Structure 1
Amino acid sequence: MNNRQLFLSHLAQTTDFPLLIEIEKAEGVYLFGPENKEYIDLISGIGVSNVGHRHPKVLTAIQNQLDHYLHLMVYGEYVQSPQTKLAKALVDTLPDYLDNVYLVNSGSEAIEGAIKLAKRHTGRPNLVSCVNAYHGSSHGALSIGGNEVFKRAYRPLVPGVSNIVYGGFADLNKIDHSTAAVIIETIQGEAGIRIACKEYFQALRKRCDEVGALLILDEIQAGFGRTGKFWAFEHFEIVPDMVVCAKGMGGGMPIGAFVANQAVMAAFKDNPLLGHITTFGGHPVSAAASLATINVLQEEKLIEQVESKAVLIKKLLVHPKIKSIRNKGLMMAVEFESFEVVKPIIDRAIELGVITDWFLFCDDAMRVAPPLTITEEEIRKAIAIVLQAIEETT
């Protein structure tokens, strides 16, 4: 059996129509298939490869850690240099209030920890999230998701969850004294790159303060430089009570985190003892890769380049079939008339050597979120192929 047959026979499938792109190697913005078939990864593995695939400094950090140790003990018991150095580097990117990091394995796991912490710290039962929010697929993360199509097959879910409209001022009064936390994507990702105004986020912050609810910002897609700031909430001049990150955090390795104030995080230490535990969270190899990723973002000034690269993409990506482009930095949705229009474009672009896709809750738009390392030449090459795909399919 070849790899494709093994994939279909023995790996659990999530659709009846997987992409079935076979990849043998990756480097920078490129993926390579059999016979050296070349693809430009215009979606960064869905927001993961912010510093590109196999960045040399990330690979060096991984190799150096392999020479020391792999997993040693469940999270939080041994003092491990990769974890402590990463935690310090993370809090150095954040406002002073956010000074305590809990390392986990993924975005969903970080969300689970954050909502547990909010309930434990406040003693309150209810959570508020947004319509068309996506926070992950595990049980608690799915419960605070905002799309019923994804949720209905798994009910009953975690109780006490209500949804508000992202960016909707009128819904803020639904946040009350029974609310433990409001969990909101700073930029809505799977809804098709929806961006609320600064005034909304400041009003949301004020309302949470008024009723004593925690404000948790999900930066799993938007964080680590994707929007032109290290954290997307920097655009809105607010400070959350917790921030959740993953995806672009690991330079291609699996890792996530939720960050809060030390006094809030202390709720996990008693009643019960070990109130939140994870075996592999903060795995030393992933932590080393994450620290290297932060260093690459800062040393190579990749975040400072985001806006000019986004401007170039929008300048080049012009076609009568494109209705609009929504973006914050290199987090983009290219809107077409319908799914029936956009799906053949995406399929043809892949055939021509550019990988893109659509959004879970917005199937009339194409995702564009390249590695932040993408060059002007690579942008021009990728967009020319996308335009060719539009021409050939519409």
Structure 2
Amino acid sequence: MSYLFPTYARWNITVKEAKGSWVTDIHDKKYLDFVSGIAVCNLGHANDDVMAAVQEQLSKYWHMSNLFHQPIQEEVAKLLIEHSDGDAVFFCNSGAEANEAAIKLARKHTGKTNIVTFLQSFHGRTFATMSATGQEKIQQGFGPLLETFTYLPYNDTEALDHLGTDVAAIMLEVVQGEGGVIPAQQEFIQKVTETCKRIGALLIIDEVQTGIGRTGKPFAYQHYGISPDIITSAKGLGNGIPVGAMIGKSSLISTFQAGSHGSTFGGNPIAMAAAKATMTKILNNEFLNEVEEKSNYLIEKLYNIIGNHPKIKNIRGKGLLIGIECNEQVSEMIDQLRENNLLVLSAGPNVIRLLPPLTVSTKEIDEAVEIMNQTFAENKQSIIAH
């Protein structure tokens, strides 16, 4: 019997410990982890630098109300501002909360309520972020959603032509993660930014999964040469310690004055210590260049070793967020990979999603690709046998 709501389709793995790119279960079986807590543990499990920073903060104090000045919040906010196009930060505890803050800020600042998002997007599971998400399966059974969200086809430039000046913001992921690991086309992103200017709407970029080095840049939008009004971040920000952030431009600061928004635990000093240590490690050119190199290495290995398998349609992504699109559902394949000691995710029914820690070694990449090659071969043989 479990005392938990069964809201997760849990795997048959009970974790005993995890370090770096590896997870060990209670039976001492070791798994190469290309999930990373769903793009959370970008520095790998139990990173020494993050652990030391958290332990140091624990010895000082654990929590204070946000009525108090806490210098570590300013230090973390400064790091985010230095590596983005923003000017001010609001701290919270998750990606959904960061997106909630972005939606509230956009509506309050513009005085408009309509927000445009895209089909197959994912922005969270609170009522506002669920309403913003362009997937019916996320919304089913919860009754009427917020009515002011419009969903357009992703990467469709012509669909943007029909938007009018009643739109408060256009909100999107530049790489749709849950929706299938689909990178935005440069032409589409350019059209989105032009449309925002034309209709007087804010541009919100959801970087919850793609931010903090995951794609080889501090934020994925920086691959496209654009300057969003609002950026949201969470998953990779604290390397496993819960933390989220909404980053906005200076023109928005006057809209979020005292009393307009808040979070009891937002900016918690333990989370700030983890975020500071995480970003200090990741947000430098040498580290990010290594992410790009590892990405190129992994994609080339995938193409060379399993790219011609009849089940595989496409391999795509940015940085170390990679999708392997198959011509059938991948749930059984993911189960087989897990049996063969490799942890991966799906991104929709037909895409295997790879999210290794950014610290993954080329040896570990080789091992992961070999497990995939072996598993695809086993699957092919079982089909022949049938």
Q: Which residue of 2 aligns with 1:260?
A: 248
- State the SS of the aligned residue for 2:283: helix
Matched residues in 1 for 2:29 and 2:130: separation? 37
Could you say which residue in structure 2 is the equivalent of 1:338? Answer: 328
Partner of 2:353 in structure 1? 367
The answer for the alignment partner of 2:346 in structure 1 is 358
| Residue 170 of structure 2 corresponds to residue 177 of structure 1 | no
The answer as to whether partners of 1:198 and 1:237 remain within 8 angstroms in 2 is no
Alignment of 1:239-254 (within 5 A): 239-254=227-242
CA distance in 2, matches of 1:206, 1:80: 39
Match of 2:2 in 1: 9
**2:362 is matched with which residue?**
376
Q: Which amino acid aligns with 1:279?
A: T
Correspondence for 2:267? 282
Amino acid at match of 2:79: A
Deviates more, 1:77-86 or 1:121-130: 77-86
Query: Structure 2: which 5+ residue stretches go unaligned?
Result: 381-386
Q: Report which stretch shifted further, 293-302 or 53-62.
A: 293-302
Over 6 Å off, 4+ runs: none
Please state how far the C-alpha of 1:299 moved relative to its aligned partner.
5.4
Q: Matches of 2:97 and 2:145 in 1, distance apart?
A: 16
Q: TM-score, normalised by structure 1?
A: 0.92
- Contact 1:183 1:216 survives alignment (8 Å): yes
Secondary structure in 2 aligned to 1:79? coil
Separation of aligned partners in 2, 1:265 and 1:107: 20
2:256 aligned counterpart, secondary structure: helix
3-state SS of 1:10 partner: coil
Choose the corresponding residue for 1:46, options 35, 38, 50.
38
Aligned counterpart, 2:313: 323
Asked whether 1:193 is paired with 2:181, we answer yes
Using the aligned pairs only, state the percent identity.
35
User: How many positions carry a matched residue from both structures?
Assistant: 375
Query: Gaps spanning 5+ residues in structure 1: where?
Result: 1-7
The C-alpha deviation readout for 1:85-115, integer Å capped at 9, x for no partner, is: 10011101013xx110000000000000110
Return the offset for 1:152: 2.9
Give 1:248 deviation, angstroms: 0.5
How far has the Cα of 1:28 moved from its partner? 0.5
Distance (Å, rounded) in 2 between the aligned partners of 1:23 and 1:82: 32
Contact 2:32 2:341 in 1 (8 A): yes
After the TM superposition, which of the residue ranges 311-320 and 47-56 deviates more from structure 2? 311-320
What is the distance in 1 between the residues matched to 2:38 and 2:137?
Answer: 21
C-alpha contact 2:169 2:201 (8 A) present in aligned 1? yes
Q: Give the structure-2-normalised TM-score.
A: 0.94
User: How far, CA to CA, are the matches of 1:357 and 1:281 in structure 2?
Assistant: 29
Note if contact 2:118-2:151 (Cα within 8 Å) is conserved in structure 1.
Answer: yes
The one-letter code matched in structure 2 to 1:48 is V
- Secondary structure, counterpart of 1:327 in structure 2: strand
Match of 2:112 among 100, 118, 124: 124
What amino acid is the match of 1:20?
N
* Separation in structure 2 between the aligned mates of residue 249 and residue 56 of structure 1, nearest angstrom: 16
Distance 1:208 1:299, change over 3 A: closer
* Residue aligned with 2:349, SS: strand
Q: Distance in 2 between matches of 1:181 and 1:24?
A: 44
SS of alignment partner, residue 163 of structure 1: strand
**What displacement does 1:300 show?**
8.5
Would the alpha carbon gap of residues 291 and 174 (structure 1) be closer, same or farther in structure 2, given more than 3 Å must change?
Answer: farther
What is the CA–CA distance in structure 2 between the aligned matches of 1:60 and 1:41, rounded to whole Å?
23
* Structure 2 residue matching 1:279: 3-state secondary structure: coil
Distance of 2:363 and 2:299 partners within structure 1: 15
Q: In structure 2, the residue corresponding to 1:308 is in which secondary structure?
A: helix
1:233 is the counterpart of 2:221: yes
Counterpart-to-counterpart distance in 2, 1:299 and 1:237: 19
Q: Are the counterparts in 1 of residues 83 and 283 from structure 2 also a CA contact under 8 Å?
A: no
Instruction: Give 1:156's aligned residue.
Output: 144
How big is the alpha-carbon RMSD for the aligned residues of Structure 1 and Structure 2? Answer: 1.4
